[in-house]
Chain A
Amino acid sequence: MTSQTDHVFEQLNKLMGSSMPDEYKEILKNFHEQGVFYQRLIQHTDKHSINDVTFWDLPSTLGFNSSDTSQPDWFTSLNSGQFQEEKNASEQLNDVFKGIAEKTQLAVEKLQNNISDINKLHTELSQLAMAKFNTLQNETVEKSSEQLCTDWLKAGEEAFNDMSQRDDYIKAQHTLLETLSEFKNTQQTTTEQLSHALGFPSQQTIQDLQKGLQQLRIEFAEYKEQTATTIKKLNTRLGKK
């Protein structure tokens, strides 16, 4: 690591701890991460070929494997942010909801298997992209870094386009989503039973309230609309007179 690199890191870290808007911090982080990535890519390309598939690793490309973010926010919010906590809660309530805890355990195991299947396909995607990249590099007359990055991108997008429309890839994604759906249903059942045991309002009660509020809003808006139409008509008539 050069002193210049140290200087950049130092400045970036300082800014990350400053009052700079979070949006800017995120942008700087992205530029920095991708800058480091491309430098690594260029350095690793030996005689215009690569033998490291990780350069096209889809989860890390999408930021899922970043060192400082274990899971993107949307993934945690998708499961109410309770994936790990819910498991702990299930363990704590094992005596009361033993059946549900077992179901949860099964769903977690199934989820792990599904993720493993997806990971295999992602590895295949990386291999496909690497093969495409090496072919492109062999065919390219211009051997600049710019061309190398262009070929990296082309290889990645083409491989992803091929893979993302394959039946096995789509099926693996659907299976994962179905398992997540089952998992979510189990969570809901647990929450519902827990709410009932503790005397909290049920999900149904909350939904009824939400629907009632929605209906009230609509009725009020329709009433206002009808009133505005009537006033307009009256004004027009008065204007004519």
Chain B
Amino acid sequence: MTNTEREDIWQNDFVLLMEHLRQTDRQETPSVGKSPKQLIYKENKLRLFRYNALNVTQKRTPILITYALVNRPFIIDLEPKRSLVMRLLEQGYPIYLVDWGYPDSSDCFTSLNDYINGYLYRCVQHVKRDTNKKKIDLLGICQGGVFSLCYSALHTQDIRKLVTLVTPVDFHAEGNILSHWTNNMPPNILANASGNVPGELISQLFKTLKPFQLSREKYRHMEHLIAKKENLDTFLRMEHWLNSGPDLTGLAAREFLIDFYQKNRLYNNTLTINEEAVRLKNITCPVLNLYASQDHIVPLAATRALADHIKPTLYHEHALQGGHIGAFTSLKTQSKLIDALTNWLG
């Protein structure tokens, strides 16, 4: 193929892409997070949702899902086909979701203690009351997994089973580029005038981990997008998610940077929250650690290090094919993820 022929193909594809995006039914980004749900609790920017049960036999113990502060949680319900929430509802699990919301300058002194012993604590109590259960299951994803580990170590009486998904534990494990970069970083440098760390900065930081792949390569191919409306919708939803990250509250970001990335305190057994020691060995519930085999944000060693601290009789792990996000959004991995979860949770 000559260069001119290749250029013609690209231009034709690009014209088609423009036409697809110009169509009147596309005047709004495809909807995300649309599985039906009820708001059952709100506090400041935080929202706690209960998803509507499907007409299947219901499991007894509810699952509370906590996602990271750095991105919006609708990634777990991106679209009907790629919805971890929907797959769990289909299995009869009562599902609750914590949405941390978009913090503003008035939240810049929100600490990790406020998130874990405040917001998350009260969400857990609400789910317990809502379901008449003394203990619930907690599913933490990425940073939400870190919070869930801390919570389970501090509030053992609340949690029946804990699932961590793509969750870092040893922040100094080999291959953790983010840890290399943030070591010795002045903790206040990332905050802007609002006292918070801009979401765009975090997004840029993650993009910089694979700069050529994430900035150029992903925009090279258009064929699959113009071939099928569904493919373009998924792409648009994912772009929307990538570009809608909230700011991080200044204090919690500083604490996370110092205690986790710089001092590796969770792994080193030196973490304290609100003057209380957080020790992973104190976790008394069974733990399932799900990790992604091609995770460029949380290396395998960083997440599998959880096994060093949890009693072997309580600890289980399971590898998922894919990257940090693909592990729970990819159609290929989804059924394996659900099998692993249902087999273990019961």
A residues within 8 Å of B by Cβ?
A: 4-5, 7-8, 11-12, 15, 18-21, 23-24, 26-28, 30-35, 37-39, 42-43, 56, 58, 61-63, 72-74, 77-81, 145, 149, 152-153, 156-157, 160-161, 164-165, 170, 173-174, 177-178, 180-181, 184, 207, 210-211, 213-214, 217-218, 221-222, 224-225, 228-229, 232
Contact B204 A58 (CB under 8 A): no
Contacts of B224 in A (CB 8 A): none
Contact A42 B193 (CB under 8 A): no
Q: A32-B14, A174-B185 are in contact. Are A213 and B106 (CB under 8 A)?
A: yes
Pairs A-B, 4 closest by C-beta atoms: A74-B200, A156-B212, A34-B219, A80-B193
Q: A173-B181, A177-B185, A221-B43 are in contact. Are A210 and B109 (CB under 8 A)?
A: yes
Among candidates B21, B118, B184, B188, residue contacting A20 with C-beta atoms closer than 8 Å: B21
Contacts of A37 in B (CB 8 A): 216
- Complex-state Cα separation, A152 to B118, whole angstroms: 49
By beta carbon, the residue of chain A nearest B10 is A35
Q: Identify the interface centre among A4, A18, A30, A74: most chain B CB within 10 Å of its CB.
A: A74
- Interchain Cβ contacts under 8 Å between A and B, 25 examples: A8-B11, A15-B18, A15-B21, A15-B22, A21-B29, A23-B236, A34-B220, A35-B219, A35-B220, A39-B6, A61-B215, A62-B215, A74-B201, A78-B189, A79-B192, A80-B192, A156-B211, A157-B210, A157-B212, A174-B184, A178-B189, A210-B108, A217-B43, A218-B118, A225-B125
Contacts of B109 in A (CB 8 A): 207, 210-211, 214
Contact A72 B211 (CB under 8 A): no
Q: Identify the interface centre among A24, A81, A181, A225: most chain B CB within 10 Å of its CB.
A: A24
Contact B188 A184 (CB under 8 A): yes
| Tally of contact residues, B, Cβ under 8 A | 65
Q: A164-B180, A217-B44, A218-B118 are in contact. Are A157 and B213 (CB under 8 A)?
A: yes
- Complex-state Cα separation, A80 to B105, whole angstroms: 13
- Complex-state Cα separation, A232 to B204, whole angstroms: 46
Contact A31 B222 (CB under 8 A): yes
Contact A210 B216 (CB under 8 A): no
Is the CB of B47 closer than 8 A to any CB of chain A?
Answer: no
Contacts of B240 in A (CB 8 A): 23
- What 0/1 readout, one digit per residue, does chain B (151-181) give for beta carbons within 8 Å of chain A? 0000000000000000000000000010011
- Complex-state Cα separation, A38 to B240, whole angstroms: 25
Contact A180 B217 (CB under 8 A): no
By beta carbon, the residue of chain B nearest A235 is B129
Among candidates B200, B217, B243, residue contacting A72 with C-beta atoms closer than 8 Å: B200
Those of B8-34 within 8 Å (CB) of chain A: 8, 10-11, 14-15, 17-18, 21-22, 26-29
- Complex-state Cα separation, A214 to B115, whole angstroms: 12
Contacts of B27 in A (CB 8 A): 19-21
How many residue pairs bridge A and B at CB < 8 Å? Answer: 171
Contact B15 A11 (CB under 8 A): yes
Contacts of A222 in B (CB 8 A): 118
Contact B18 A12 (CB under 8 A): yes
Contacts of B18 in A (CB 8 A): 11-12, 15, 28
- Complex-state Cα separation, A18 to B129, whole angstroms: 51
Shortest CB–CB separation between residue B117 and chain A, in angstroms?
10
Shortest CB–CB separation between residue A118 and chain B, in angstroms?
13
Contact B201 A24 (CB under 8 A): no
By beta carbon, the residue of chain B nearest A125 is B211
Shortest CB–CB separation between residue B200 and chain A, in angstroms?
4
Interface of A is mostly: helix
Is the CB of B259 closer than 8 A to any CB of chain A?
Answer: no
Is the CB of B107 closer than 8 A to any CB of chain A?
Answer: yes
Shortest CB–CB separation between residue A141 and chain B, in angstroms?
18
- Complex-state Cα separation, A229 to B129, whole angstroms: 8
- What 0/1 readout, one digit per residue, does chain B (244-285) give for beta carbons within 8 Å of chain A? 000000000000000000000000000000000000000000
Those of B278-299 within 8 Å (CB) of chain A: none
By beta carbon, the residue of chain B nearest A145 is B6
- Complex-state Cα separation, A193 to B21, whole angstroms: 51
Contact A39 B10 (CB under 8 A): yes
Contact A21 B28 (CB under 8 A): yes
Contact A8 B15 (CB under 8 A): yes
Contact B236 A78 (CB under 8 A): no
Is the CB of B114 closer than 8 A to any CB of chain A?
Answer: yes
By beta carbon, the residue of chain A nearest B201 is A74
Q: A8-B14, A21-B29 are in contact. Are A181 and B186 (CB under 8 A)?
A: yes
Contacts of B1 in A (CB 8 A): 145
Q: A27-B239, A56-B212, A153-B216 are in contact. List 9 more A-B contacts (CB 8 A).
A: A23-B239, A72-B200, A80-B193, A170-B183, A177-B185, A207-B195, A224-B43, A229-B125, A232-B129
- Complex-state Cα separation, A34 to B181, whole angstroms: 27
